Amino acid sequence: MSKKLFAVQEYIIDSKKIIFIFTAMATKSWMYKIPIKKLNKLGYSCIIYDYKLDFLFNPSFSLWEEFFKTIICDAQERLEKHKREGYTNFYAYGASMGTLIANKFARDTKDISHVILNMTYGDVAKNIWTYKGVKKVKEKFIEQNITEDDLRKNITYMDPIKTARDLKEKKVKLHLATHDHVLLYSQTKETLKSFKKFIPNLMYEEAKHGGHYINGIKNLMNTKEIDEFYHL
């Protein structure tokens, strides 16, 4: 796979701390400049990933798996490079679709101590089968005679419910919203249940007002709370 499916920007300052940020679907790294600038001022270098949606809207199990493998390998290589340069503290942050990547990156990378999942998924296969925003993905799977259950079995590695136990050694902060109409709370609350069962170092915040986008932006802009969590 070509790395052209994702882009990377580094905002490195003279500090010992680096946050790996994985963007939400259809957003670009330049949209995150304000929180990145604020995080820089708080003493964090930031490495941010955004991605084209080719891999999502041309659904293929092998392509999706290779995408995750390639982007996480890239992040791990950058982590090791900066580790050799003297950086010592590494964190992950994911927004919406980016939470799936941040989650797997944290699970697969020993040096990631904390991860923030800002508006994450429940059952990913169920979301793809029910959310109108990715209706074309569902239709293309159906054209391939792939069912929702087939999909679920093949994307376990990105499912936050089934992989929760692999985050048990990490400090995790989870954001959900009861009125989320993109990642439905009726689905995401199952992730919360699994996280509570398997992750002893879980912090949880549930928004009672506003939907997916408003709360996602609000959480991202609250760099003070991000900083406080990474200091735990």
* Domain total of the chain: 1
Cβ neighbour number for residue 231 with a 10 Å cutoff: 9
**Per-residue pLDDT reduced to its tens digit, 46-75:** 999 999 887 778 889 999 999 999 999 999
Non-local (6+) Cβ contacts of 167 within 8 A are 103, 106, 107, 115, 195, 198, 199
Q: Which residues pair with 95 in a beta bridge?
A: 118
Residue 168 and residue 195 in contact, taking contact as beta carbons nearer than 8 Å = no
Does 2 score more than 70 pLDDT?
A: no
CATH of the domain at 145: 3.40.50.1820
Instruction: Give the separation between CA 3 and CA 149, rounded to whole angstroms.
Output: 30
| Angle of helix 61-84 versus helix 97-108 axis, rounded to 10 | 60
Note the pLDDT of residue 3: 56
Q: Indicate if the pLDDT at residue 1 is higher than 60.
A: no
pTM, full prediction? 0.96
Whole-number pLDDT of residue 56: 79
What pLDDT, in 10s, does the model give residues 113-168? Answer: 999 999 999 999 999 999 999 999 999 999 999 999 999 999 999 999 999 999 99
Alpha helices in the chain (DSSP H): 33-41, 54-57, 61-84, 97-108, 124-130, 135-143, 148-154, 185-198, 212-221, 223-230
* Span 9-35, average pLDDT: 96
Strand partners, 159: none
Per-residue pLDDT, 58: 82
Type of residue found at 163: T
Phi-psi region of 198 (alpha: psi -120 to 50; beta: other; left: phi over 0): alpha
Q: Is the dihedral of CA 227, 78, 28, 214 positive or negative?
A: negative
The answer to whether residue 177 scores a pLDDT higher than 60 is yes
CA-CA distance, 217 to 222, in Å (whole number)? 9
Computed over every residue of the chain, the mean pLDDT equals 96
Q: Can you list the pairs that 133-140 forms with residues at least 24 positions away whose Cβ atoms lie under 8 Å?
A: 133/182, 134/56, 134/57, 136/57, 137/56, 137/57, 137/59, 140/57, 140/58, 140/59
- Which tokens in the block code for residue 83? 């580790």
Domain that holds residue 30: 3-230
